[in-house]
Structure formats: C-alpha cells, structure tokens
Structure 1
Amino acid sequence: MSFFSSATASTSTAAAATPGDLSKDIEVQQPPTDSISCLAFSPTADILAVSSWDNGVRAYEVMASGQTAGKFMYNHDQPVLSVCWSKDGTKLFSGGADKLAKMYDVSTGQTTQVAVHEDAVRHVRWVDQANVLATGSWDKTLKYWDTRQQQPVATVQMPHKVYAMDIQYPLLVVGTAERNVCMLNLQNPTQIVRTIQSPLKHQTRCVACFTTGDGFALGSVEGRVAIQVVDEKITNQNFSFKCHRRDSPGTKDQGQVYAVNDISFHHQQGTFSTAGADGVFTFWDKDARSRLKSFDSGLNPISATAFNASGTAFAYAISYDWSKGHTGNVTGHPNKIMLHPVKEDEVKKRPPKK
C-alpha cells in the first residue's frame, strides 16, 4: 500500500532526538460517537476494527492512499470493551458490558453470540492453536469457548476482576484488580503457572505479550511500565521505567503523572509503543532499554492503539479514557482515530549495548 510502504524510508540518526512528526497522519472518517475502547487490525488485510462506548463495533478498510471507508458495523446492547480477529481474518470477536461476546463472520455479515459471563467481558483474545476464544471478565473468571457450543470448554478462576489480558502463544497473561498478574501456558490452559504481585505500585491498566511469547510489558495508572520475563531463572532482566509524565519546571515535584492506557508490540521488530492519558505515544526498544521516538498528539488522552500486520501503520484513538471517572466525560470531548505511517527508524531495534 503506497501510503504505508512509502513511509518506511530511513530518517537521519540526528532526527531521533526530535519530537515525532504527525503531519502525515490521516484521520479515520465517521468514527464512533463515544469513547473508543479498543483497536485491532486484521492479520490478513488493512482492515481496522474499533470498539466503543456507544455500543458499536465498526470496521474500516484502509485504502492505498491512507483514506478509509466503512467496511461493516454491528452492535452490543451496552458499551463494547474489546475486539480481536481470528488468525485468518474471517471472524471478528467482541466483548462488552452486556456480559456477552459476539462473533462477526466477515463473509456472511452474520453476528452470533458465542460467550456469556456474569459480569462485563473486559477482554477477548482468539487462540488459533486451540481454535477457541478466550474471554476475561469482571466476574473474576477466564473462560475458553468453542464458538460452535453454548457452554465454555473450560473456566479458570481468577484472583479478582480481569482488567488486562493478552496472548502470544503459548503465553497468556491476565492482570486483575488488587495488582495480581497471572501467567498461563496455553498448552495446559486451565492451570495458572504463576501469580505475582505487579512490580508497579498502582492499578494495572494494560498488558501486552512480547512477540517472542516469553515475557510481557505491564502498564499502570501511575505513568510507569514494567518489563517482565516468564523464566524465573532470568528475572534479572526485569525492569520498570517512568513514562507519560509532564515535568513542572522550577519545582521539585514530579509534575503531572498520567495513566498508561495501552501497549502494542511491533510484529516485525519486537519494539513496542505506549500511549497515555497525556495524549502522547512513544516507541520503545526494551532490549536496548531506550526510547526510540515520542509523538505528542495534544492534551486529550490516547485510549487505544494498534499496529497493522505489516508494521507500516500505527492506529491511535484520541478519546476519553475514563481515567477521571464519569465526571471527566465532558461534552465536546474528541473521538478520533488517527493513522500514523510508520518510518523504519521510528521502530527499528537499536544495536545491543556493549
């Protein structure tokens, strides 16, 4: 696609220290009318799925020019909190506050209920190797579903409400309330391998598994990210760092601290993005422990992010993130989805430090 592929030209090393360029970013037309909760690109095409608090699930096709066109839409009865695709791109799954997960068949246009919980379905993730849908809920359970059956294949009790969840086979990581983090091996999916207390001091906001499936990045409301490996023999590789903070010049305090709302890994490079309530998204190299490039979209929160399958585009949603509760959802808050053409040097891994 010309819009994306032309953006992969290298930039100068000197430019690495300058703020990222957003001038070529393109706004998705006809976005949701309320806060955007999740973004997910199809693994097989440049089709972006979006879930939102207006009860809708929308999909947009991204043209070669970077312009977008609505592809399809369907609804839940209450806000939709999560979307994900099947590996072949033929099915889209969604979960929401109506306690249900639904499946949309791209070829037929039909929507089917495929899961039900006793409370909101906070996250949905497809497990291609087992041909099941994993759902994490505020009812303190993780469930696996064969979409052809009404009852779950298996149920795993979680320590508390599910706040964050991600999968990179065979690793499944669940972050719950009370700062619990549970690790499961999907080759034995009903057994929690290990539960730890988050190394971060405050509420877990998001989690994303490494592309290699041997660790994960954890984000919290305190403007901090923790990098964690699964292997207990190499926990010396674990570390955390501050991000999404605005300094107060001339003072000794730490300034404004913002929630880390989303983390997304670049499929080819293994580098990752963080996006926060400060309206900034940043690309990082965890192995070099360095920041690659930061982009400031303004003062409104970035609520969700996603790289496309080829890693040449980065979608980010500018909308209210509920970090200030109901009172913060003021009239006139923007709901925008932007597409950033990714330059190679913005996400390319740095040489290892000697």
Structure 2
Amino acid sequence: MTTPFGLSSTATTNTLVLGQKDLEIIQPPDDAISCLKFSPLSIPQTYLIASSWANDIRCWEIQSNGQSVAKAIQKHDAPILSCCWSEDGSKVFTAGCDKTAKMWDLQANTFVQIAAHDQPIRTIHYIQRPSYSCVMTGSWDRTVKFWDTRQATPLKQLALSERIYAADVFGPMAVITTADRNIQVYSLDQGPTEYKKIESLLKYQHRCVSIFTDKSKNPNGFAVGSIEGRVAIMYVETANPSVDNFTFKCHRSTPQPPTNTQDIFAVNDIAFHPIHGTLATVGSDGRYSFWDKDDRTKLKTSDVIND
C-alpha cells in the first residue's frame, strides 16, 4: 500500500502489554528513544514520530483502534536528540549529535539539512507566530539559533551562560534551561526577545521543561524536572512566588528501614494535558505518574515498565 509519505508499508497487529489497554508500537527503534511527538490537530490523521539513539527518526500512523502502521524512516549520522512537527503537519524537524538539524518533507520524503551548530543540538522547536515562522535550535555550544528554513544562516543567535539542556515553546512563549540551572523565558511575538530570567527552585541538573497554560489557554508558567527525582512548578508572573511556586518529589523508591534510604531517579520528561491541565511525568525508574498541580496531588502511578 502506498502511504501519504510516498513509501509502501503494511499494517501489523500490535501486542497488548502490561495486561492493560496499552499497545506497543510496531517496528520501534533499535536503541533508546530520545523524543516522541504526536502530529498536530491541523491534519485529520494521527501520526507519531520518534527520534532515537539509533540515529533514526521514524513515523507511524496511529489508527482509531490504537493499532500502529509503520510509515517511513530517515537517518542522521549520529544519535538524534530531539524532533518536532511543523504546525500544518507536513514537515518534521530533527536535531542531533552530528551538530545538524534537518527538515523531513513527509509528502516528498526529502530530508535536508537546515541548521548547524558547533556542538550537538539538544533541542528543536517549530515557532509559528502571526508575523513569522521559524525553527529554534538549542545546542551544547551554549547558543540558541532561530532559522528560516530557506536560508543558510540563522535569523537570530543568542548566547547563553551554559549548554542548553531543555527547552519548550508554546504560543508566544519559549522557556530554555541550561547546564548551570539558569532559566530563560523569551517572548516570541515580535521576534525572539529575552523576557525574564528566573532562578530555579531545583538544586540539581535539569532534565526537562514543559510550559503550562491558564484557563484561557495562555502560557503562564512551566514545570522543570531534574535528575534528583523532583519537579518544580513555576509561574512567570506571580505576586506571591514563595506561595505559588513549589516543588514536589517523584520517581523515588519507598524508603527502606532501618536507615530509610531510597533510590532516586531522574525525571526524563513532563507533559501537560491540553484540556485539563494535569501533568504526566516519566522517570528512569520505569514508571510514569499523573499529577494535579492545582490541587498539588498525585493522581496515579504506573507499574514498572520493563524492557
């Protein structure tokens, strides 16, 4: 069967896992997955992309019954660390350890370089604003660059204090966190401009960041996860930061007597529900958990997911 990506593929029955309603994606990468992104709502079908340490980016169609159909694959020359979609769902952007970012035109199945840094590129995001669109890349060379995909040089380049470890973009806001645990908030409406520097509540290395919104769906804060099994909830504008901003422990083992020692695991990613505002965290303990940040409560934790 010919796919919308210009390639042929065959649907394969998925395997139920964990004894629940979870479905395992067929033909997964051969090494650790670095990033997962579902396609935007602007296209009628649902697709999933995954970048990996196997140097590849893969795409599946997710059918209404949860079954997956492998669609296409492209490769970098080194592990891919991040991926994202264009707003219209026609293109996928990737960035990785080969110090390049690439654009995958899914219909034409072309894969071309659009950006470069002096060190591996840790993050990539597509920015769509009323007056412009671009791709934002954050690198371990301590720079963030903004690219018009039709040009060989960046539209803008920002120098940061340390290596970029995590970033997120939502509407007019971008949040970037660096190796020294500095947090930078940028306004994107009139071109990328620094809006505010925020001191982190976390004492250890940041691993991930995710923007959340208010009830009107305007971005007003973010969650940061660290290697210490802890998440910080932080608002960009608040009259009472000591009250509104807080941290909570997660992805830790049950303390064992008599010393009450426990294993602590990194928080690898955070995602907010687009409607309800609850959040999910995934950790190196092989578990995922759901939280209500407004009530400051844990909703549910999964069993350990084994390899």
Q: Counterparts in 2 of 1:199-238, with a 5 A limit?
A: 199-211=201-213, 212-235=218-241, 236-238=243-245
**Structure richer in helix, relative to its length:** 1
Of 239, 252, 258, 1:245 maps to 252
Deviation at 1:187, TM superposition (A): 2.3
Aligned position for 1:255: 262
SS at match of 1:296: coil
SS at match of 1:245: coil
Aligned position for 1:47: 47
Deviation at 1:22, TM superposition (A): 5.8
Partners of 2:257 and 2:281 in 1: CA distance: 27
Partners of 2:168 and 2:207 in 1: CA distance: 12
Partners of 2:190 and 2:244 in 1: CA distance: 26
Partners of 1:251 and 1:198 in 2: CA distance: 33
Deviation at 1:73, TM superposition (A): 0.7
Aligned position for 1:184: 186
Aligned position for 1:116: 116
Letter in 2 for 1:277: S
- Identify the structure with bigger relative contact order (alpha carbons < 8 Å, sequence gap 6+): 1
Aligned position for 1:77: 77
Partners of 1:294 and 1:281 in 2: CA distance: 6
Partners of 2:250 and 2:171 in 1: CA distance: 28
Letter in 1 for 2:124: V
1:180-221 alpha-carbon deviations (Å, 9 max, x no partner): 111111125443222233211100000000043110000000
Asked if 1 retains the 8 angstrom alpha-carbon contact of 2:238 and 2:244, the reply is no
Letter in 2 for 1:72: A
Asked if 2 retains the 8 angstrom alpha-carbon contact of 1:209 and 1:216, the reply is yes
Alignment CA distance shift 1:297-1:22 (3 Å): farther
Partners of 1:177 and 1:282 in 2: CA distance: 25
Asked if 2 retains the 8 angstrom alpha-carbon contact of 1:281 and 1:294, the reply is yes
Of 279, 284, 292, 1:277 maps to 284
Letter in 1 for 2:110: Q
With the length of structure 2 as denominator, give the TM-score of the two structures: 0.88
Unaligned 5+ runs, structure 2? 1-17
Partners of 1:191 and 1:74 in 2: CA distance: 33
Are 1:106 and 2:106 matched, yes or no? yes
SS at match of 2:276: coil
Deviation at 1:289, TM superposition (A): 1.0
Aligned position for 1:150: 152
Asked if 2 retains the 8 angstrom alpha-carbon contact of 1:133 and 1:144, the reply is yes
Partners of 1:190 and 1:68 in 2: CA distance: 37
Deviation at 1:252, TM superposition (A): 3.9
Percent identity (aligned): 44
Asked if 2 retains the 8 angstrom alpha-carbon contact of 1:156 and 1:191, the reply is no
SS at match of 1:59: strand
Unaligned 5+ runs, structure 1? 1-20, 301-333, 335-354
1:244-291 alpha-carbon deviations (Å, 9 max, x no partner): 000133234340110000001111211110000001101111111111
Partners of 1:272 and 1:89 in 2: CA distance: 24
Partners of 1:187 and 1:55 in 2: CA distance: 34
Deviation at 1:65, TM superposition (A): 2.3
Indicate the RMSD between aligned Cα atoms, in angstroms: 1.4
Asked if 1 retains the 8 angstrom alpha-carbon contact of 2:48 and 2:61, the reply is yes
Aligned position for 1:195: 197
1:13-46 alpha-carbon deviations (Å, 9 max, x no partner): xxxxxxxx86110101110001110000001331
Aligned position for 1:268: 275
| More moved, 277-286 vs 218-227 | 277-286
Asked if 2 retains the 8 angstrom alpha-carbon contact of 1:155 and 1:190, the reply is no
With the length of structure 1 as denominator, give the TM-score of the two structures: 0.76
Aligned position for 1:297: 304
